[in-house]
Structure 1
């Protein structure tokens, strides 16, 4: 099917009716992508700093895993609490609008009138719009939330968003440690795990950049280069700090 045909199929009356009736689903891809970016950057930064300090594979694994679990949980918790707070604020705004409609119906009806007058409605058409909206309290509250507070009817689920972030952080964040785990299980198989970790992490950065570009509608090449640049900068800084602090690690 051609691109034009796909768009035409999406805009048939039946397709539009189904899309609107199903509502807006929470896009957990965004949470996964940003969790993955943070996981890859922070874990490889730990790997780079330890490698720069000249420490062994065991230290890399211990510090990498500790960072992976603690930072991943921290990021997921922050996402959970932030999303939950947004939902609670939306619930509060809904209660306030319901109360305002009960206490000051004429004032709230005038707000609806002015909102739609600013959209270009006037005369009998405007009167009819106001009449239809204010005839149903649930519809009235919904419109007020959207127009006055910018709150849509569909809310993201905080626990699912946090879970998506945490899993992506763990999966992608573990990639820089793979070569070190192999070196630990099969000593000598990989002479120097750090270059291998660099290559694996660069590949994961490229994949994440491509996904991020899709999420935000960015050019694929630009998204990949942007994520690679951020990862390289963070890793370079971490490696440099580890190298500068190397004298302090000589006794380890």
Structure 2
């Protein structure tokens, strides 16, 4: 039995990874800002981090935020892992972090490089966006009378549960370096995905596609965030929507 630390272990992905590892018989510690006994803010670091990694064989690094600070958090985690003699650091990243010039993607790519240069044994998995993210995007758009969608952009959403399964597998194996990217089962246009969300929620909205300028959207239109050659996910967006809105949604 190995001792595994999951950072961001109370989040959407980290919680599922933790469950799977515990089901597999491993001792799992959860590190999050408000999760006792390992309540640590990775961006700030501190002595609590050393206690969290002491005696740990593997760290699964799921903690991340688009609000900034991922690179500093990685510095603190890597330093603590070195002091503790951690053998394996597993990191979840995003397909396209090296191709799409978005601030959050650039930070994730920088963390990849930090891990690769850390001197620790490491594994990095990149996946496409989770179904949940698209739902949040559409729910935000749905507050307006018209859905405004970026023209020419597609997505390849994947079930977070499938990513959790893969991360748990990687955590109990040895360091594997950069493993094969993991994408959802289908590449779908944004209007197509939006129509699926509208049907599932019973909302009625016209959808308008508009061209969006800039390098980031040029990269998205080129499919820099997609991995059509690796459609390993099984769960579809419609299946996710059916489960999420099983209790019914009020049309608005």
Normalised by the length of structure 2, the TM-score is 0.21
Looking at CA atoms only, which structure, 1 or 2, has the larger radius of gyration?
A: 1
Normalised by the length of structure 1, the TM-score is 0.21
Greater helix fraction, Structure 1 or Structure 2: 1
